[in-house]
Structure 1
Amino acid sequence: MAGEFDAHERRMWAGKAVPYGRTFAALCGAAVPELVAAAGVGAGTTVLDVGTGSGTAAAAAVRLGARVTAVDAEPGMVELAAENVPGADVRHAVLPELPFPDASFDAVVANFVINHVEDPAAALAELRRVTRPGGRVAVTVWAATGNTAMGLFTEALDAAEVGRPVFPTLPVDFERTPEGLAGLLAGAGWQDPEGRQLAWTHRVSPEEFWQGPASGIANLGLVITGLPAATAALVKEHYDRIAGGRTGADGLLALPAAAVLAVARR
């Protein structure tokens, strides 16, 4: 049975597939090339993409010639990924219980997923179960430092003097560092885990970026969409002012992004 954190995640992502695909999917998708490479994905590889979202990692694996199965806990994401990646077998499944026999896949990838399940260690152990001996796993999470993108929204909320509720957090958290993520994999039974930092610049128009939380995506989205109309409009005014002062000559924001990638073998 889902605990408080998992139940919150299900509510938070319900019905958000299409706006996610139009907004934050590009930000998250920037880590995919290194993710699939680290997992050793190639022609003929059987791959499981867990928490596929809009299907970005699944699509990358299909382009490499892999035989791809993708799962997500949100039915809307399953529908969207199936539409975006017709070459993949896309199914509904919720960690930490997957509907596959032991040793089903050569490689498993999970892009910004492990931090969205109540028991990350149990989830990683389940990924190990469905990976063949010698197979690889590659996972990403947002790094503890180096990310400033969401600060645009928190600055706007602070300027509008909007308080934030306390949302459920992971009962047992882990360090969002290469060492912390590699240690989490080791604790779940994976062999030779290695972690490293990824960094890139996300270029996006201020309005497109705003549409993520304005559509209710993530905890900040729950805050913004839960505001009275007048307060939400005030937050948007502050956001427009702050973001407008940080755009380049092309009218785009250049947002630093940092993630941790960890890989290990079964």
Structure 2
Amino acid sequence: MNATTADIYEIAMGRWSRRLSRSFLDFVAAPSCGALIDVGCGTGSLTLAAATRYPKARIVGVDLIPDYLSEALLSAAENVSFETGDASNLPFGDDSFDTAFSQLLLNDLEGPAGAVSEMVRVTKPGGRIAASVWDRAGGLSFIRLFLDAAAVIAYPAGDELRSRIFDIPYQSEDALFDLWSDAGLRDVDTATLSIRMDFLDFEDYWQSLLGAHSLIRDFFNDLDPELAHQLRTATERSYLGGKDDGRRSLVASAMVVRGIVGE
């Protein structure tokens, strides 16, 4: 059976986004009732975590990829609904929600500011807007193991790949603060959250890595077989760290921002 887009995402990021959701919701500190929207909900990690935390709230998850929503619906809670929609053109009226949040989406959009503007539009005055993004260059060690090796072994293409993946709009808390402030939000606050990525063995790590970003998967699959073997071997040595294969726990960090919609 061929893996779906949702299957690949679950292996690569879904399990980690679920772990991040708990800390992110602590940071958001949304009201325990009312209406909440998860923009770019993917397979529903944050949406369903919010549904469990806020059983009296009405929660809507929105994503542009139907395959993700099909996966999310498999675990849907009674107070959750999912809709297909574009983060830059949300299918809801003004002031429809009390809280809007987005997890790990902004740096994958062509126009992040437009998505933030839409979250502000659909949120009531006094409501909360929050988002998280991975700290790719400094806080995703499981990707860095591979990209640093690729930059040396497959130079210059590997070096260019590393630059492309790390060249994202929001690479610091300050950049997120400015994005929220420019959107007219008040009481803006930022932080960095960390989780552990636990892998059963190198093969588990490798499958997660190849699903983590389409650029990584395409780059590796297009390599000359001998060069691909060298790169995988070098990455495996970094993962093993001179010890036998088995479980490893790597740190992953995400930057978060929140603010209040003005009157």
Q: Structure 1-normalised TM-score?
A: 0.82
1:31 to 20, 25, 28: 20
- The answer as to 2:135 corresponding to 1:135 is no
Cα contact 2:24–2:132 (8 A) shared by 1: yes
Asked if the contact 1:196/1:262 (under 8 Å) is kept, the reply is: yes
Alignment of 1:213-224 (within 5 A): 213-215=209-211, 217-224=213-220
**Runs of at least 5 residues in structure 2 that lack an aligned partner in the other structure:** none
- CA shift in 2, pair 1:168/1:73, >3 Å: farther
Q: Provide closer, same or farther for how the CA distance between residues 209 and 54 of structure 1 changes in structure 2, counting only shifts above 3 A.
A: farther
2:146 aligned partner: 153
Report which stretch shifted further, 18-27 or 233-242: 233-242
Higher helix share: 2
Q: How does 1:59-78 map to 2 (within 5 A)?
A: 59-64=48-53, 65=55, 66-78=57-69
Q: Which amino acid aligns with 1:195?
A: T
- Aligned residue for 2:112? 120
The answer on whether the counterparts of 2:94 and 2:124 sit within 8 Å (CA) in structure 1 is: yes
The superposition leaves residues 26-77 of structure 1 with CA deviations (integer Å, 9 ceiling, x where unpaired) of 2233321232233333543311111111211011111021311001122211
The CA distance in 1 between the partners of 2:177 and 2:29, in whole Å, is 17
Residue type at the aligned position of 1:236? R
Contact 2:35–2:99 under 8 Å retained in 1 = yes
User: 1:230 offset after TM fit, Å?
Assistant: 5.0
Q: For the structure 1 residues 246 and 183, does the alpha-carbon distance in structure 2 shift closer, same or farther, using more than 3 Å as the test?
A: farther
Q: Secondary structure at the match of 1:195?
A: strand
**Cα displacement (A) at 1:218:** 3.5
The CA RMSD over aligned residues, in Å, is: 2.9
Is the deviation greater in 82-91 or in 34-43? 34-43
Q: 3-state SS of the aligned residue for 1:48?
A: strand
**Aligned residue number for residue 202 of structure 1:** 197
Does structure 1 conserve the Cα–Cα contact (< 8 Å) formed by 2:147 and 2:161?
A: no
User: Shift of residue 216 of structure 1?
Assistant: 7.0
Q: Deviations over 1:162-202 (max 9, x none)?
A: 624669979x9644222221110111122221111212332
1:42-53 → structure 2 map (5 Å cutoff): 42-53=31-42
2:179 to 159, 163, 184: 184
Give the distance between the partners of 1:183 and 1:200, measured in 2 at CA.
25
User: Aligned pair in 2 of structure 1 residues 175, 117: CA closer, same or farther (>3 Å)?
Assistant: closer
Asked if the contact 2:220–2:228 (Cα under 8 Å) also holds between the matched residues in 1, the reply is yes
What residue identity is the alignment partner of 1:263?
A: R
Q: Distance in 2 between matches of 1:250 and 1:235?
A: 17
SS in 2 for 1:45: strand
Gaps of 5+ in 1: 1-13
Alignment pair present for 1:264 and 2:259: yes
| 1:244 corresponding residue in structure 2 | 240
SS of the equivalent of 2:74 reads: helix
| Residue in 1 that maps onto 2:73 | 82
C-alpha distance 213-145 of structure 1, shift in aligned 2 (>3 A): closer
Quick check: 1:16 aligned with 2:5? yes
CA distance in 2, matches of 1:36, 1:250: 34
Aligned positions, number? 251
Partner Cα separation in structure 1 for residue 112 and residue 257 of structure 2: 14
User: Bigger CA drift: 174-183 or 130-139?
Assistant: 174-183
Alpha-carbon distance in structure 2 between the residues aligned to 1:252 and 1:146: 20
Write out per-residue CA displacement over residues 243-263 of structure 1, whole angstroms, 9 at most, x where no aligned residue: 12276x892222122211111
Residue identity opposite 1:157 in structure 2: A
